[in-house]
Amino acid sequence: MLQVEESMLRKKGLSEEQVQEALQPIRFFHEQIRSEVVTYERLKRKEFDELHNLQGLGEMLIGLRVASGLSQCELAERMGVHESQVSRDERNEYSGVTVDRANRILEVLGAVVTTRVEKILPLARSA
């Protein structure tokens, strides 16, 4: 498809720079889709990244749902909430989710998250 588009642009008499500039959004979209497919395939294999200071918790919760094979609707039913709530939470990557709610989602998905503290940094002293 990219080659066809490139050929059409060249036939219109665009310069090489103009052709490359016009193709940039297509390339970007293609790379974004490829990245999402790779991520989806990893999740289906139940391969998850580690969390550091709970960064990425929302992505992990979404990934666990996908890996479990549940739709947003099915998760909502199991949690006793409306599907729009799950959709909104996932769209926002569970930003601001409470610990209780994250635990409930993990329970519903049959998942366990284990944490450990590796080091404690010294506190900054105020002047």
Q: Mean pLDDT, 10 residues at a time, over the chain (127 residues)?
A: 84 87 88 84 78 83 91 96 95 93 94 82 75
pLDDT at 104: 95
pLDDT at 127: 63
CA dihedral 36, 33, 77, 45 (to 10 degrees): -40
- The verdict on domain 49-114 having CATH code 1.10.260.40 is yes
Structure pTM?
A: 0.65
| 3-class DSSP assignment, residue 106 | helix
pLDDT at 53: 75
* Structure tokens belonging to residue 96: 């601001």
